[in-house]
A and B are shown apart, each in its own frame.
Chain A
């Protein structure tokens, strides 16, 4: 079974994002970049499927700037077999990304697409669902457990009411939630070996994808700031303050 994993290069999760004063976006100079953490979890799941003998080949795909090669090298070091970089600078919207991934999945004969449930930059939470729609495949989002038997995927999902278990016919799209697994660190020899693994490059045009943005970002601003509060010395003082603020209701 051929597995496709989408990986996005984003600002590192531990980095405090700063909005540019001119409202044109967020500061990206001298900022640490990393693989989107949810994509890392998706990739780890693919690698585990390969270790179980279920997946035969893992293709990591990234749509982004030339620098996204670093993210793909990291994916190869973790355990992906091949990498494909679709070079597209600027803001790539989920719909455009899903179209490119769909073209790749069709060409590759992908049976399972594993993606992170959302990217921590645009927080859109769309690409996997859109990919499933474009391919006419089933989808299981927010996965916390994946079991593949034959051509069926049994997926436990984290939903607002608790846990839901779905059975999907393959091919299908599964998006990874936080508790699906803990991604491995790539050891140095694997990082070295990853340099020899195949990395292909394509342009969006070669895949026939229309990637023109549909949304115009007018401005990017700071969120409202909460004004500094006060420290209280005791439970009694706290309760008094809450009562005075009307926070305790009736």
Chain B
């Protein structure tokens, strides 16, 4: 049995979710190859050779893959699929975009957002914003799987696999990426941070959001997250949204500040190890999932916490 894992990378660096998805890929029981696709990937490919337990790294180097857009990337993956029983990718915005395209081209049904691998064809995955977990068995000959990486520990980086260059099929030229915001590197990434400090609508403005949350995040070396309400109100950028339809996080410590805790938000963070909720409303649903709750005025509590923590 052979598995192809699609590596995630950004800004010339291998993303931490790749090592987490690898743990899921290895749990399938077969040999795992890792595909690194992009423009100028030799550095990335050699970084990927360090992933523990893999057989080979496949390097696909082509300018058309620079943004890992769905159409050219799917064409590449499909061209390689003949050699593999299962194709795995992190359920990131790239994986979610490309993998269903791959699955349809292979005429198989994708298994999305896997949180546990029970066997080579059997998986557990959340549905209804995590309010139920279904166990599914695939009847397809080939499997296409995306992994909720927050549910898997990262595989170690002590491997020494070899690199094989693979041919890149012609770009179907159905579209092109015009621009992409470059993430500022001053904060850890939400998906892999050990601590997340998250703010909600109760912060009242972007100025308050920044003034209260940033110093605390700075002190804790934390990533910053936000509720949908805070993003909709313009307090925080869209990529910071934590929840069913935003980022799914499971840090060691999640501090929810002024977030009431709609089920869609809880779906994105209730896998966190320790949850702290700070809210002025004692009846806020966030307290039902919090390990430690503190009721009171955010504008007093958060600066005090920042000072003493």
Interface residue ranges, A against B (CB under 8 Å) = 11, 13, 16-17, 19, 26, 38, 93-95, 98, 117-118, 120-134, 136-142, 144, 154, 157-169, 172, 177-179, 213-223, 226, 228-236, 238-239, 241-242, 245, 247-249
Contact = CB atoms under 8 A, between A and B. Distances in A.
A215 B139 contact: yes
B242 to A, nearest CB: 12
What 9 A-B pairs come out closest when comparing CB atoms? A138-B174, A162-B181, A129-B100, A214-B109, A130-B104, A133-B104, A126-B100, A168-B175, A138-B175
A225 to B, nearest CB: 9
A245 B274 contact: yes
9 contacts: A17-B132, A120-B129, A129-B100, A130-B101, A133-B105, A215-B139, A223-B270, A248-B253, A248-B309
A125 B292 contact: no
Contacts of A234: 294
B139 A166 contact: no
Contacts of A138: 71, 174-175
A14 B228 CA distance: 15
Given A11-B128, A218-B137, A223-B133, 12 more contacts: A26-B132, A93-B109, A95-B110, A123-B244, A138-B175, A139-B97, A213-B139, A217-B134, A220-B135, A232-B292, A235-B308, A248-B309
B133 A215 contact: no
A242 B292 contact: yes
B93 interface: yes
Interface of B is mostly: mixed
A248 B175 CA distance: 46
A238 B147 CA distance: 34
The winner among A117, A118, A129 for most chain B CB atoms within 10 A is A129
B289 interface: yes
B237 interface: yes
A160 B92 contact: yes
A220 B132 contact: yes
B104 A98 contact: yes
Contacts of B39: none
A230 B293 contact: yes
Contact of B110 (A124, A158, A166): A124
B177 A165 contact: yes
B137 A159 contact: no
B201 to A, nearest CB: 15
From B10, B274, B275, residue with most partner A Cβ within 10 Å? B274
A58 to B, nearest CB: 23
B72 to A, nearest CB: 11
A129 B101 contact: yes
A57 B61 CA distance: 42
Contacts of B126: 123, 223
A16 B177 contact: no
B96 A215 contact: no
Interface string B99-119: 111111101111111000000
A120 to B, nearest CB: 7
Contacts of A132: 70-71, 101
A28 B257 CA distance: 34
A218 B123 CA distance: 10
B202 interface: no
Contacts of B105: 133
A7 B175 CA distance: 25
Contacts of B264: 13
Nearest to B272: A226
A139 B69 CA distance: 9
B132 A238 contact: no
A229 B295 CA distance: 13
Contacts of B239: 158-163
B290 interface: yes
A96 B295 CA distance: 49
A247 to B, nearest CB: 4
B63 interface: no
A172 B69 CA distance: 14
B174 A169 contact: yes
A142 B109 contact: no
A232 B100 contact: no
A133 B100 contact: yes
A131 B103 CA distance: 11
Nearest to B92: A160
A171 B38 CA distance: 26
Nearest to A153: B175
Contacts of A117: 245
A226 B78 CA distance: 41
Contacts of A232: 292-294
B274 to A, nearest CB: 4
Contact of A122 (B127, B138, B252): B127
Given A120-B129, A223-B126, A229 B293 contact: yes
